[in-house]
Structures are given as C-alpha cells and as structure tokens.
C-alpha cells in the first residue's frame, strides 16, 4: 500500500507549482485549492491501488476537464493570462493516456479520449490515438468510419479519410455497412463540390451564353450567385477555388468514378448480391443534387439487369431511375410515373407469388414519400395523388400476407387490413408516426 501511496504522491506533486500560482494570483481561494488537492488525491489513490477500473480514469478526466473550464473562466474574469506551467489539456491527455494503456481493450475509454481530442482540435494527438486504437481493434468497422469522417468533415483531408476506409476494408471486407459508408463519404464529398461550384457560379457561364444565343432580343441580366447574397456562404466547404473546381468538372473523381469503383468492388466481394446493390442504389439516390448521381445510379441498374434481371431489386431500381431527379409537381412527373408504374405492373404479373409480395413492398416504399411530401407551398396534382393512393393500396393488398422488416410497410399493412383501403392522408399520417418514433 505504501508503494501505491508513493505513486499517488508522485503524480500529485506535479501539480504543486500550478496550485501555488493559483494562490499567488488569487484565482482560487485557499479553501478551493484544498478541495482541488483533496479531489486529486482521492482519484490518484484509487488509480494507484489494486482493483481500479476504467471508469475511474474516465471520472478523473471529466473532473480535470471541468476544472480546466472553470480555470479559463476565472482567468478571463480576473484578466489573468493564464497559469505558467499548467495546461488542463495536457493534464487530461496524460490521464486518458494512462487509462488506455492500462485498459487497452476498453473502447469506451478510447472513445472518450477521441471525443476530447476532437473538442480540443488536437489533430496530431488524435492521429496518434486513432492509430493506437485501430491497431488494437482493426475488426471494429465503426472505428474506421469515425476516423475517416473526422478527417473528411473536420479537416477536409479526403486522401487521409479514404486511406482509413481502404485499410478498414482490408480487415472488414465482409462488413456491408463499411462499404456503404465509404460510398456515402464519396457522395458527400461530391455534394460539397457541387455546392461549392454553385456558390462560385462555376459552369454558369455556358448556360448564360446559350440563353443569349437563343434569343438576341433578350436583355442580358447579371448572374447572381449565393456568394453575392451571403459572402460567408459555403465557408464550411473545403477551400477549393473556382479554377480548381473548373478542372474537376471532367475529372474521374467528380464524374462519379470513385463511387462506381467502390460499388464494383463490393459486388465482387458479395457475389453480385442484389440486396447489397439495392442498398447502394438507395444511398446514392439520396444525393439528388449531385450531377454525377444519375450516372452512378444507371451503372448500378445496369449491373442489376445483367446479374439479376428478373429480381424485385432490379425492377424497382429501374422504376426509381425513371423518377429520379423529377419534381413531383413538374410537368414531366405524370409521364415518368406512368412509365414506372407500368414497368412494375408488367413485372408483378410475371413473378411468382413470393417475389410479387417482395416487389409490392419495394413499390410501396418508393411511392409513400410522394404521398407524405411536405413541399414548399406546391401541391401534387389531385389526379396524380389519386393514382399514387390507388397504386399503394393495390400493392398493400398483394403484400398483406407477407412479413416485412420495414416498419413503414408493416404499419401500412396493419392499417390496410383493418380498413380495407387507405386514403392519402391516412398513408401520410402512418408514415409520419413511424418517422416520429425513430
């Protein structure tokens, strides 16, 4: 026990100069300094004794974080620049480093370490922490995602982010979600580039020239971009200037080549699994503002049509491509909807009973977003809404005897069984209730 006390005393003495400075500059009162010393002594003796837990290190680090915050506020109020020789950040790092060395397998403690480094924007320390944790837990696919997102979203370093996910796929190549996260990271990057191009007005010159050529009698007006309205718009995006963005327009990375490559590699890994391909399709379809999204979706659809042409996944993806990028209140929507529903109707007639129900469920999930749409004042035409409601009810009747994993489809089927038919408002209310619970 004496050895434990000596060890605790050794660590406590490291704080003595800072405590003396607190008293000399009157940042803390003598009573407060005594309380700080007693609290630190309590923690150090627990850590030095046998039977200490990872939660003890977590609580000690939390205490030092709160103390550091209080110290900063006191110094600011008193006009004191700071305490020489004391760094609350360094103290917390030291505690968490001791804890992760002793409890290397405790992911929760590592995550506290990562979150603190992120909050302090300590990039160099964070790189060391990521490296240490991923060496210990290479099969934890979520940790690779955490590291990649930090570098992509906070540091704007896509090369490092890609490197983390590519290394993660070496260890977790059978994890579907990691492949999808990699594709999502690339689509988010493309969305940022597209938004940046729009803010800078890159690519708008050609549109303006073509408009002038179309009608020489028109008075040309100056092009106004988001940057003219809000000079700070897009600052959260990566610092890419207009010239670089113009060059990127025809680059493979901007035209969707990377998401396509990720999809192709995933198909080889999962043996052309149609469900995995549909997961990729649903992910990419969410990025309707990305110019290259249509190209990626068509590539996925072509693969499905070649690998599993009669599968429900291929049929519903073909229908969704027909509707992709078309506003439900636009003049093009009725024709596209009619073609899509016609494709599904023809396919359902030719499929066996079990696959009919699967396709019907996918068709319902494709249509309900239009019925539950909350648009900016524009309403879907009543005739189109009637078609959507009738089609949804027809598909619900087909899938009424089939178990489903989708919560939305399950709720709709249960209500359909009770009432025999659902109206547009009932469908919208049911979808809203499920989304509200999630």
Domain boundary assignment for the chain: 2-103, 174-201+249-309, 314-438
Each as own residue / partner, the long-range contacts of residues 165-170 (CB below 8 Å, 24 or more positions apart, any chain) are: 167/134, 168/138, 168/141, 168/143, 168/144
Residue 398 vs residue 406, higher pLDDT: 398
pLDDT classification of 216: cutoffs 50, 70, 90: very low
Which residue has tokens 């025809």?
250
The tally of CA atoms less than 13 A away on the side-chain side of residue 366 is: 28
Q: 377 by DSSP, 3-state: which?
A: coil
Which residue has tokens 């490197």?
163
* 215 pLDDT above the threshold of 50: no
Q: How far apart are CA 56 and CA 61, in angstroms?
A: 9
User: What is the pLDDT, as a whole number, of residue 116?
Assistant: 94
The tally of CA atoms less than 13 A away on the side-chain side of residue 217 is: 0
* 40 pLDDT above the threshold of 70: yes
Q: How far apart are CA 82 and CA 88, in angstroms?
A: 11
Q: How far apart are CA 318 and CA 344, in angstroms?
A: 9
Of 173-182, 187-196, 233-242, 400-409, the range with the highest mean pLDDT is: 173-182
* 404 pLDDT above the threshold of 80: no
Mean pLDDT of 374-393: 76
Q: Which one, of 123, 23, 102, lies nearest residue 60 by Cα?
A: 102
Mean pLDDT of 347-358: 87
Residue 238 vs residue 180, higher pLDDT: 180
Q: How far apart are CA 176 and CA 160, in angstroms?
A: 21
Flag the least confident range among 4-13, 49-58, 186-195: 4-13
Which pLDDT tens digit goes with each residue over 84-118? 656 788 999 999 999 999 999 999 999 999 999 99
* 386 pLDDT above the threshold of 60: yes
Helices (H) and strands (E) in the chain, counts: 22, 0
Q: 307 by DSSP, 3-state: which?
A: helix
* 338 pLDDT above the threshold of 70: yes
Rounded to two decimals, what is the model's pTM? 0.81
Q: Where are the alpha helices (DSSP H) in 327-375?
A: 333-350, 353-371
Residues 274, 304: contact at Cβ < 8 Å?
yes
Residues 267, 276: contact at Cβ < 8 Å?
yes
Q: How many CB atoms lie within 10 A of CB 408?
A: 21
Mean pLDDT of 202-223: 45
* 174 pLDDT above the threshold of 70: yes
- Looking at the chain, the whole-number percentage of residues with pLDDT higher than 90 is 45
**Tokens at residue 80, please?**
């004191």
**Tokens at residue 115, please?**
């979150």
pLDDT classification of 226: cutoffs 50, 70, 90: very low
Q: Which one, of 409, 176, 364, lies nearest residue 273 by Cα?
A: 176
What is the secondary structure of 191-229 as a DSSP string? HHHHHHHHHHTTTHHHHHHHHHHH-TTSPP-----HHHH
Which pLDDT tens digit goes with each residue over 111-129? 999 999 999 989 999 999 9
Report the length, in residues, of the chain.
Answer: 438
pLDDT classification of 220: cutoffs 50, 70, 90: very low
Q: How far apart are CA 11 and CA 40, in angstroms?
A: 9
Residues 209, 173: contact at Cβ < 8 Å?
no
Q: How far apart are CA 215 and CA 219, in angstroms?
A: 9
Per-chain mean pLDDT for the chain: 83
* Rg of the chain over all Cα atoms, to the nearest angstrom: 29
Q: How far apart are CA 367 and CA 370, in angstroms?
A: 6
| DSSP single-letter state for residue 27 | S
Mean pLDDT of 74-92: 78
């Amino acid at each position: 026990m004496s050895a434990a006390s000596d060890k605790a005393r050794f660590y406590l003495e490291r704080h003595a100069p800072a405590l003396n400075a607190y008293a000399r500059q009157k940042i803390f009162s003598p009573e407060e300094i005594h309380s700080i010393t007693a609290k630190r002594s309590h923690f150090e003796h627990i850590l030095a004794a046998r039977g200490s837990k990872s939660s003890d290190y977590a609580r000690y680090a939390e205490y030092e974080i709160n103390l550091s915050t209080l110290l900063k506020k006191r110094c600011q109020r008193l006009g004191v620049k700071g305490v020489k020789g004391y760094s609350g950040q360094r103290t917390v790092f030291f505690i968490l480093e001791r804890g992760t060395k002793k409890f290397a397998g405790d992911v929760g403690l590592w995550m506290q370490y990562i979150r603190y480094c992120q909050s302090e924007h300590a990039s160099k320390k964070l790189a060391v922490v990521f490296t240490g944790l991923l060496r210990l837990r290479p099969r934890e696919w979520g940790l690779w995602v955490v590291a990649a997102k930090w570098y992509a979203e906070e540091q704007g370093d896509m090369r490092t982010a890609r490197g983390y996910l590519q290394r993660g796929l070496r260890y977790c190549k059978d994890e579907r979600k990691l492949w999808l996260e990699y594709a999502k990271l690339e689509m988010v990057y493309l969305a940022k580039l597209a938004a940046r191009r729009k803010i800078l007005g890159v690519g708008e010159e050609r549109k303006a020239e073509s408009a002038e050529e179309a009608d020489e009698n028109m008075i040309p007006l100056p092009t106004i971009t988001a940057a003219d309205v809000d000079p700070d718009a897009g600052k959260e995006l990566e610092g890419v200037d207009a010239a670089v963005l113009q060059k990127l327009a025809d680059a493979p990375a901007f035209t969707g080549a990377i998401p396509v490559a990720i999809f192709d590699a995933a198909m080889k890994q999962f043996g052309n699994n149609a469900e995995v391909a549909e997961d990729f399709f649903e992910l990419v379809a969410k990025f309707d503002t990305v110019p290259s999204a249509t190209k990626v979706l068509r590539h996925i659809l072509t693969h499905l049509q070649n690998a599993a042409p009669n599968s429900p996944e291929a049929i519903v993806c073909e229908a969704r491509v027909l509707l992709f990028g078309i506003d439900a209140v636009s003049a093009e929507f009725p024709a596209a909807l009619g073609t899509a529903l016609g494709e599904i109707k023809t396919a359902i007639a030719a499929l066996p009973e079990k696959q009919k129900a699967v396709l019907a469920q996918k068709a319902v999930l494709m249509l309900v977003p239009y019925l539950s749409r909350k648009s900016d004042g524009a309403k879907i035409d009543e005739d189109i809404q009637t078609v959507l409601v009738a089609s949804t009810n027809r598909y619900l009747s087909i899938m009424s005897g089939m178990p489903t994993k989708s919560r939305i489809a399950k709720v709709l089927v249960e209500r359909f069984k009770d009432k025999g038919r659902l109206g547009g408002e009932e469908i919208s209310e049911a979808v809203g209730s499920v989304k509200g619970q999630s």
